[in-house]
Amino acid sequence: MKIVALAALATLASAPALAKSRPSDGRQAAQRGLDFLAKSTPAWQKQHNCYGCHVQAVTMQAIATAVRNDYGVREAFIDDVLKGLTTVKGGTRSEHGLAHSNGREQGEAKSYGGSALAVFDQHVSDRATDDLLSTARALVEHQLENGSVPTDVARFPVSPSTVHTTYRAVQTWRQAYARTADDAWRAPLRRGEAWLATTAKQLVKAPATAPLQDLNFAALGLVEAGVGASEPVLAAVAKALRARQRDDGAWAFTRHGGDRPSPYATGQTLYTLRMLGVGESDRAIARGTKWLTKHQRKDGAWSTGGTAKAEAMWGVLGLVSIDVVGLDIAGVGDGDRIEPTRRFTVRAKDNHGSQVEKIEVFVDDVRVQVSEGDRLAGTLDAAKLAEGPNLIEVVATNRAGKSGRRRFVVYAGDYYLTDVGSRFEDGGTSITLRNLGADQAEGAAVRMEILEKGKVVHTEERASERGAMRFHFAPKKTASVDTTYRARLSYVKKDAVVQSVEHEFVHATAVAQRAHYGDVQGKLSSGAKSLANTWIELVDDSGRVVRRTRSTRSGQYRFKNVDQGSYKVRVNKRGYSDWENDVKVERGVEAQNDVAL
If you count them, how many residues does the chain have?
597
pLDDT at 578: 94
Using DSSP bridges, classify how beta strands 518-526 and 590-592 pair: parallel, antiparallel or unpaired: parallel
CATH tag, 517-596 = 2.60.40.10
Q: Which fold has domain 2-322?
A: Glycosyltransferase (1.50.10)
Q: Establish whether domains 2-322 and 328-412 are of one fold.
A: no
Please state whether the predicted TM-score (pTM) of the whole model is above 0.75. Answer: yes
Rg (CA), the chain: 24
Instruction: Return the biggest CA–CA distance within the chain.
Output: 74
pLDDT at 477: 81
The torsion angles phi and psi of 349, rounded to 5 degrees, stand at -130, 125
Question: Which top CATH class is 417-511?
Answer: mainly beta
- ω before 340 within 30° of 0 (cis)? yes
pLDDT at 7: 34
pLDDT at 8: 33
pLDDT in tens, the chain (597 residues): 344 443 332 322 233 333 456 889 999 999 999 999 999 999 999 999 988 888 999 999 999 999 999 999 999 999 999 999 999 998 999 888 888 766 666 788 999 999 999 999 999 999 999 999 999 999 999 999 999 999 877 777 777 799 999 999 999 999 999 999 999 999 999 999 999 999 999 999 999 999 999 999 999 999 999 999 999 999 999 999 999 999 999 999 875 556 789 999 999 999 999 999 999 899 999 999 999 999 999 999 998 766 778 889 999 999 999 999 999 999 999 999 999 999 999 999 999 999 999 999 999 999 999 999 999 999 999 999 999 999 999 999 999 999 999 999 999 999 999 999 999 998 899 999 999 998 777 789 999 999 999 999 999 999 999 999 999 999 888 878 999 999 999 999 988 999 999 999 999 999 999 999 999 999 999 999 999 999 999 999 999 999 999 999 999 999 999 999 999 999 999 999 999 999 999 999 999 999 999
Question: Which top CATH class is 328-412?
Answer: mainly beta
CA distances from 433 to 174, 366, 444, 525 (A): 14, 28, 16, 26
**Any idea where the domains of the chain sit in the sequence?**
2-322, 328-412, 417-511, 517-596
In sequence order, what DSSP letters do the residues of 45-83 get, joined into one string? HHHH-B--HHHHHHHHHHHHHHHHTT--EEHHHHHHHHH
